[in-house]
Amino acid sequence: MDEILKEPTEERSLNFLEEIVEADLASGKHMSILTRFPPEPNGYLHIGHAKSICLNFGLALKYGGETNLRFDDTNPTKEDVEYVDSIKEDVQWLGFQWAKELYASDYFEQLYIWAQELIKRGLAYVDDQNQEEIRINRGTVTRPGVESPYRGRSAEENLMLFSAMREGKFKDGEKVLRAKIDMSHPNMLMRDPILYRIIHAHHHRTANDWCIYPMYDYAHGQCDSIEKITHSICTLEFDVHRPLYDWFIEKLEIFPSKQYEFARLNLTYTVMSKRKLLELVKRGFVAGWDDPRMPTICGLRRRGYTPESIRLFADKVGVAKRDNIIDLSLLEWCVREDLNKRANRYMVVLDPVKLTITNYPEGTTELFTPALNPEDPAAGSRNVIFSRELFIERDDFMEEPPKKYFRLKPGGEVRLKYSYIIKCEEIIKDENGKIVEILCTYDPDSRPGTGEWRSVKGTIHWVSAPNAVEAEVRLFDRLFTNPEMDNLDEGKEYIDYLNPDSLKVVKGYAEPALIDDKSLTAVQFERIGYFAKDYDWSTNKPVYNRTVGLKSAW
Partner RNA sequence: UGACCUAUGGUGUAAUGGUAGCACUACUGAUUUUGGUUCAGUCAGUCUAGGUUCGAAUCCUGGUAGGUCAACCA
Q: How remote is the C-alpha of 35 from its chain's centroid? A: 21
With CB under 7 A as the contact rule, the residue among 407, 474, 533, 546 that binds RNA is 407
Least CB distance from residue 385 to RNA, whole Å?
A: 15
Least CB distance from residue 220 to RNA, whole Å?
A: 7
Range in contact with RNA (rule: CB under 7 A) among 13-21, 105-113, 153-161, 539-547: 13-21
Under rule CB under 7 A, which residues in 306-335 are in contact with RNA? Answer: 316-327, 329-330, 333
- Catalytic position from the list 205, 264, 417, 423: 264
* Binding of RNA by 553 (CB under 7 A): yes
The CA R_g of the chain, rounded to the nearest whole Å, is 31
User: Which 3 state secondary structure label does DSSP give 304?
Assistant: coil
Least CB distance from residue 76 to RNA, whole Å?
A: 9
* Binding of RNA by 238 (CB under 7 A): yes
Under rule CB under 7 A, which residues in 143-182 are in contact with RNA? Answer: 172-174, 176
With CB under 7 A as the contact rule, the residue among 49, 345, 533, 546 that binds RNA is 345
With CB under 7 A as the contact rule, the residue among 9, 432, 455, 538 that binds RNA is 455
Q: Residue 84: how many CB atoms within 10 A of its CB? A: 19
CA distances from 331 to 226, 293, 338, 551 (A): 37, 14, 11, 13
Least CB distance from residue 324 to RNA, whole Å?
A: 4
- Total number of residues that touch RNA (CB under 7 A): 91
**Residue 52 in contact with residue 235, Cβ under 8 Å?**
yes
- Catalytic position from the list 191, 242, 274, 345: 274
User: Which 3 state secondary structure label does DSSP give 429?
Assistant: strand
Least CB distance from residue 323 to RNA, whole Å?
A: 5
Phi, psi of 288 (to 5 degrees): 165, 180
Amino acid at 127: D
Residue 470 catalytic? Answer: no
* Binding of RNA by 278 (CB under 7 A): no
Beta-carbon contacts of 265 under 8 Å, excluding residues fewer than 6 positions away, are 47, 48, 51, 272, 317, 324, 326
Amino acid at 326: I
Residue 40 catalytic? Answer: yes
Least CB distance from residue 337 to RNA, whole Å?
A: 6
Cβ-based nearer residue to RNA, 188 or 515: 188
Beta-carbon contacts of 515 under 8 Å, excluding residues fewer than 6 positions away, are 469
Q: How remote is the C-alpha of 104 from its chain's centroid? A: 25
**Distance between CA atoms of 500 and 142, rounded to whole angstroms?**
45
Residue 274 catalytic? Answer: yes
Cβ-based nearer residue to RNA, 291 or 387: 387
DSSP for residue 292 = T
Least CB distance from residue 325 to RNA, whole Å?
A: 4
Under rule CB under 7 A, which residues in 480-539 are in contact with RNA? Answer: 524, 526-527
Range in contact with RNA (rule: CB under 7 A) among 186-194, 249-257, 470-478, 514-522: 186-194
Closest CA to 469 of 511, 507, 525: 511
**Residue 87 in contact with residue 47, Cβ under 8 Å?**
no
* Binding of RNA by 227 (CB under 7 A): no
With CB under 7 A as the contact rule, the residue among 189, 201, 252, 385 that binds RNA is 189
With CB under 7 A as the contact rule, the residue among 34, 69, 91, 215 that binds RNA is 215
- Catalytic position from the list 40, 117, 337, 425: 40
**Distance between CA atoms of 227 and 224, rounded to whole angstroms?**
5
Active site residues: 40, 264, 274
